[in-house]
Chain A
Amino acid sequence: MIEVENLTKWYGPVCAVDDVSFRVEKGMIVGFLGPNGAGKSTTMKVLTCYMPATGGRATVAGYDVLADSMAVRRNVGYMPESVPLYPEMRVRELLMFRAALHDIPRRQRRSAVDRVAERCWLSKPEDMMRRRLGELSRGYRQRVGLAEALLHNPPVLILDEPTMGLDPAQIRAMRELIRDLGAEHTVMLSSHILAEVEQTCNHLIIIAGGRIAAAGTPAELRQRVVGPSRIIAELRGADVETMVETIKAIPGVRDVEQAASDAWTRLTVRGDPQLDLRADVAELAARRGWQLRELRREVGSLEDFFVQITYEQNVRWMERMAKSA
């Protein structure tokens, strides 16, 4: 539904998006994850035809964002970051106006507005639809923004930070709503909070410094993160070389690192992916009569991965900036 090829965007001398390519298939809920200033909003603004890219190509729902801008806009529901609304208008007034802009025939506008109001919990309390947008709380603004994006029932939804500024209960409600919407729409949402997208999305694109750092399903990414399994063991009872040699002989072990502290030897054992070597190490220690003080498996979390990737990309980006300066 969304195809992006070598997308690049410069704001004057600043490169916000640097040669980004990705695909979003129909029915996916894609989380666009990245630290602040990573280029998430910029990419979304290009995809919604708010601004053109400096280079590269992007198509949404099969239409090119430059050549077929109107067709793209008809097929996309967009909720911009921080949800700008006209403060003097009333909720229903705004939605009716947006319905007119989206070519919804006059007779169907009222029912279209009622449908999205129901969907986004705007039909209660009673007077909700008559309230002025300027008086709404953050949570309600967000709902109105989402209702706006859903009015013309677009196949693609692009939501920029849909849960930002919401309280925990609202975040959960919004998450559920987005998951529901995923059944009928292809959704792309951005966030800088990993836990957020991990729970809502079935596909992640991690972007940092204007570049894609990783993409895949949460499970795939987690697997890549965990990578080779790693075991920490603290042993005593033989000299270090013997211990290292014996453990290296266990099938599946790739390498062993050692660090002696007082009488105990601390070993870091790396093995093949998906392999839990703890039982083998424990058994070996028991057979040889070594004393075992600690034995644990280290699993990198997606969070660590995200932080690490973000950090690396930022360093690389700063180096590039320094070089070009």
Chain B
Amino acid sequence: MRKTLAVARRELAGYFYSPVAYVVGALFLLASALWFFYRIFIPGNEASLRPLFEAMAYIMVFATPLLTMRLVSDEIRSGTIETLMTAPVTDAAVVVGKFLGVLAFYLVLLAGTVVFLALMAVYGQPDLGVAATGYLGMVLLGAAYLSVGLFASTLTPYQLVAALVGTAILATFAIMMQVLVAVGGEPWNYLAAKLNAMTYFRDFSRGMFDTRGVAFFLSATALFLFLSVKTLESRRWR
């Protein structure tokens, strides 16, 4: 556990040195601010962050792989993976540590959006309960997205490839599935509805706490972290 945290802390510190993280963070905050001020923060509108959360959930399909792409890929490319994997640390501790590191950075980014909520509270009465479930949804969704990105990063020494693979997987579950629900035939549209990340997320953004959503995002996180450990282990055998 201590070693996991050591890995996590190193990773988090790495984000504050990395220009990519700053650019992604700035773009994310800029996009959500634009969305907030042009679509939500208008006199007469409902004082709710719901539309913002939904927009952010889509932005995250592209933003999270950019945050996670360097996690393992960079270590493979630079060779530091060799010192890491010959230290007395299990592969699982490395994966979980890296995941916690990027999750912490994600939470920092997310905390930046609390400003919008505060602005709303000044000019209206937003439902704080709804906002809280919305944030919980963002955290759960973020955890699942980041684990997908981390998995993509264990596959290749090239960060760009890792980002593209991550985005492709996320787009499948966040965008493709919605399309499939609309146009798919009998059994497929039902299956797609079950795998659609956005269905689960919408409940949270509307202020509904649904254990199905919690189970979906947490099990997705666990699955992709498990796959990351396995691909990392398999590197040794190649």
Interface residues of A (CB under 8 A from B): 45, 48-52, 70, 73-74, 76, 78, 80, 82, 84-89, 93, 97-98, 100-103, 148
Contact = CB atoms under 8 A, between A and B. Distances in A.
Contacts of B89: 101
B237 A101 contact: no
User: Among B17, B78, B80, B83, which residue has the most Cβ atoms of chain A within 10 A?
Assistant: B83
A70 B88 contact: yes
A102 B18 contact: no
Interface SS, B side: helix
Considering the complex of A and B, which 8 residue pairs feature the smallest CB-CB distances, nearest first? A84-B79, A100-B6, A88-B17, A73-B88, A101-B87, A84-B80, A48-B86, A80-B82
B86 A148 contact: no
B88 A103 contact: yes
Given A51-B236, A84-B78, A85-B80, A100 B86 contact: no
A102 B3 CA distance: 8
B126 interface: no
Contacts of A48: 86
Nearest to B2: A100
Given A52-B237, A97-B6, A101-B3, A86 B80 contact: yes
- Of the four ranges (under 10, 10 to 19, 20 to 34, 35 or more), the interface on chain B belongs to 20 to 34
Interface SS, A side: loop
Interface string B207-228: 0000000000000000000000
A89 B7 CA distance: 13
Nearest to B7: A101
Contacts of B30: none
11 contacts: A45-B82, A49-B85, A78-B83, A78-B86, A80-B79, A80-B82, A82-B79, A84-B78, A100-B2, A100-B6, A101-B6
Interface string B44-85: 000000000000000000000000000000000011111111
Contacts of A87: 78
B10 interface: yes
Contacts of B10: 86, 89, 97
A64 B17 CA distance: 39
A76 B17 contact: no
A79 to B, nearest CB: 9
Contacts of B88: 70, 73-74, 101-103
Contacts of B3: 100-101, 103
A73 B78 CA distance: 21
Contacts of B18: 88
Interface string B155-186: 00000000000000000000000000000000
Contacts of A102: 87-88
B91 to A, nearest CB: 11
A72 to B, nearest CB: 9
Nearest to A106: B2
A84 B7 CA distance: 17
B14 A88 contact: yes
Given A88-B18, A100-B2, A50 B82 contact: yes
A296 B123 CA distance: 104
